[in-house]
Amino acid sequence: MNDLETYLAETADTVDMALYRYFGNAYGELYKAGEHLLLAGGKRLRPAVVFLAAETVRAGSSDDLISAALALEMTHTFTLVHDDIMDGDATRRGVPTVHTKWDMPTAILAGDVLYAKAFEFLTYAIAEDRARVKAVTMLARTCTEICEGQHLDMTFEKAGDAVGPLDYLEMAAKKTGALYAASAGIGAILAGGNAMQVDALYQYGLNAGIAFQIQDDLIDLLAPAEKSGKDRGSDLREGKQTLVAIVARERGLDLAKYRRTLSPADVAAAIAELEEAGVIREVRRIAEEKVANARQSLNLLPDSKGRRYLDELVEYFVKRSF
């Protein structure tokens, strides 16, 4: 592993240990449902962004922000619980989704509990009171944007051919980019960053998150289920308006024939068709453009190990395969 991979692995271990300490002995079905996905693993990338943004502003400050990092992971997990309900997905992170293991009402409430706990844990961060208030405000606004982004994603199903690349990028900015932006912005705020530093890191996270969402859509199509932990080709099967689908439509491809139960051979045929038309290549180009924008934001900050890791991390976002 390179230095960044080692850092991410160590951060994931730190976050996992803290999550198990607080949630590992859940009592009652509601809390067991709440910790189900939270403790099911994951890269813990949003906590890593919190820590790295803080280190970019002030070396050593991330030691005081474990509760803030957990808050961002809880926020992310609550969105996954609710997204799985809306998308009808059966697996997540290699385990049954909450609504399939329990039931839909329990899953909704479990997500709500995680949402509330996120704000509670954010207030535990060791930082000035004013900074904590700003951080809570940013997370509250971010949760609103996430809901807006998810709603846009849902309306795309009815909008059909009217959805264009810019519509998709707006959705991705709110649904995924906003939480990465908040992770970076909150890390900077709690570390005592000034307005320029906070904005630069927020913009970094926003563009990195959009790139992450684009790559996530590619993973849904390209990565085997045993690696991604999700139903392969679910976006294609459901006819979701991903950037892949939008670019494919612009290039004259009809993906409606794949809106059914798909065998591995069906998915392979779809991939071959998309690659031949240059769709996958164009989607990756757009993701790389967002990576470049994220890196440009980092240029406003002084050189540090935290900044260098953030620079490498955004490249990892579009290179990861699971």
Say if pTM beats, i.e. exceeds, 0.85: yes
| First-residue to last-residue Cα distance in the chain | 16
Residue 62: both structure tokens together: 């991330």
DSSP 203-259: HHHHHHHHHHHHHHHHHHHHS-HHHHSS-TTHHHHHT---HHHHHHHHTT---GGG-
At 226 the pLDDT is 60
Q: Are 206 and 178 in contact (CB under 8 A)?
A: yes
At 89 the pLDDT is 82
Query: For residues 235 and 158, what is the distance between their CA atoms, to the nearest angstrom?
Result: 15
Going from N- to C-terminal start, the domains of the chain cover 3-317
How many other C-beta atoms are found inside a 10 Å radius of the C-beta of residue 12?
A: 17
In the DSSP assignment, the letter for residue 173 is I
Q: Label residues 102-138 b or e (16+ Cβ within 10 Å = b).
A: beeebbbbbbebbbebbbebbeebebeeebbebbbeb
Q: Which residues pair with residue 95 across a beta bridge?
A: 92
Residue 183: both structure tokens together: 């992770």
How many Å separate Cα 271 from the centre of its chain?
24
Q: Label residues 261-277 b or e (16+ Cβ within 10 Å = b).
A: ebeeebbeebbebbeeb
* Long-range pairs of 126-132 with CB within 8 A, sequence gap ≥ 24: 126/64, 126/65, 127/64, 127/65, 127/189, 127/190, 127/191, 127/192, 128/192, 131/189, 131/190, 131/192, 132/190
CATH code of the domain made up of 3-317: 1.10.600.10
Look at strands 91-92 and 95-96 and give their pairing.
Answer: antiparallel
DSSP 249-299: HHTT---GGG-S---HHHHHHHHHHHHHTTHHHHHHHHHHHHHHHHHHHHT
Query: For residues 45 and 274, what is the distance between their CA atoms, to the nearest angstrom?
Result: 29
Residue 14: both structure tokens together: 């730190």
Q: What angle do CA 207, 213, 218 make, to 5 degrees?
A: 130
How many other C-beta atoms are found inside a 10 Å radius of the C-beta of residue 34?
A: 27
* pLDDT tens, per residue, the chain with 322 residues: 689 999 999 999 999 999 999 998 888 999 999 999 999 988 999 999 999 999 999 999 999 999 999 999 999 999 999 999 998 888 888 899 999 999 999 999 999 999 999 999 999 999 999 999 999 999 999 999 999 999 998 898 888 788 999 999 999 999 999 999 999 999 999 999 999 999 999 999 999 999 999 998 898 888 776 665 556 777 888 888 899 999 999 999 988 888 888 888 888 888 999 999 999 999 999 999 999 999 999 999 999 999 999 999 999 988 876 4
How many other C-beta atoms are found inside a 10 Å radius of the C-beta of residue 62?
A: 26
Residue 308: both structure tokens together: 């260098």
